[in-house]
Amino acid sequence: MIVADKKPIEEIIEYVKDKKSILVAGCNECVTVCEAGGKKEVGILASALRMYFKNKGEDVRIDEVTLERQCDHEYLQEIAGTVREYDGILSIACGVGIQFMAEEYPNMPVYPGVNTCFMGATEERGLWVERCQGCGECVLAFTGAVCPVTRCAKRVLNGPCGGSTEGKCEISKDVDCAWQLIVDRLKALGRLEDYEKLFPIKNWSTDRAGGPRKVVREDVQS
């Protein structure tokens, strides 16, 4: 899933302090699972804003909505009838949802209420970890299904670098060395001899380097 984290309330207030009516819009997908932008968080953020404006003695309308998905034009249409009543939308979907919202309503100011962080998963309650950077050319078959692009701080494809100590990365004792994990995994699979294969120079044009990416599937286009 896409993992996001709440923005500081002070930053959010800075975006919306001059508004008279605001729609706080959550999303029922990834950001609900990572507890940053679901229905519960919409309620908390809306309450915080109401309190802020009340303390300032201002009468500002704050409404709440949580869409099934903000990264989907169909679901975004659900607010088409009422959207003109607001002079700003505070979206706490991921960066994709926020932009789709803006694309759907070109005249409506849309502000982010979260920082979109990475593609990852819940390791334990309150702890989300990154597992994929969407490089567009998956290498997991060669690395025992541990991603060096994501999990090595230097994206080293022929690792580990000289900074790997007791299984940890040189940047922090709290970060596992991806290549220690890869070596352990290759060993567990009885494939340690694969370690010596030089990983070829990677084509990064399928990564961020190639500009905005698209997946086009003619077979599913109607």
Task: Tell which one of 70, 116, 150, 164 touches other proteins (CB under 8 A).
Answer: 164
Q: Which is nearer to other proteins, 140 or 171 (CB)?
A: 171
CB 16 within 8 A of CB 108: no
> Closest distance between other proteins and the C-beta of residue 106, in Å?
32
134 touches other proteins by CB under 8 A: no
Among 33, 44, 129, 156, binds other proteins (CB under 8 A): 156
H helices present in 36-170, as ranges: 39-55, 73-76, 95-104, 148-151
Surface-to-core class of residue 18, CB atoms within 10 Å of its CB (0-12 exposed, 13-18 middle, 19+ buried): exposed
Helix (H) or strand (E) segment spanning residue 88: none
Q: State the DSSP H helix or E strand holding residue 140, giving kind and residue range, or none if neither.
A: none
Q: Nearer to other proteins by C-beta: 50 or 155?
A: 155
15 lies in the site for other proteins, by CB under 8 A: no
Q: Which C-beta is closer to other proteins: that of 196 or that of 218?
A: 196
How far is C-alpha 145 from the chain's CA centre? 21
- Is 198 a binder of other proteins (CB under 8 A)? yes
> Would you count residue 201 as binding other proteins (CB under 8 A)?
yes
Question: Does residue number 154 form part of the binding site for other proteins (CB under 8 A)?
Answer: yes
- At closest approach, how far in Å is the CB of 213 from other proteins? 18
Lay out the sheet containing 2-6: strands in order across.
2-6, 114-124, 127-132
CA diameter of the chain: 70
Q: Considering only residues 168-197, where is the footprint of other proteins by CB under 8 A? A: 170-171, 177, 180, 183-184, 192, 195-196
Let me know if 23 is exposed, middle or buried by CB neighbors in 10 A (0-12, 13-18, 19+). Answer: buried
Taking CB under 8 A as the criterion, the residue among 8, 106, 162, 211 binding other proteins is 162
Which residues are at the interface with other proteins (CB under 8 A)?
Answer: 153-167, 170-171, 177, 180, 183-184, 192, 195-196, 198-201, 204
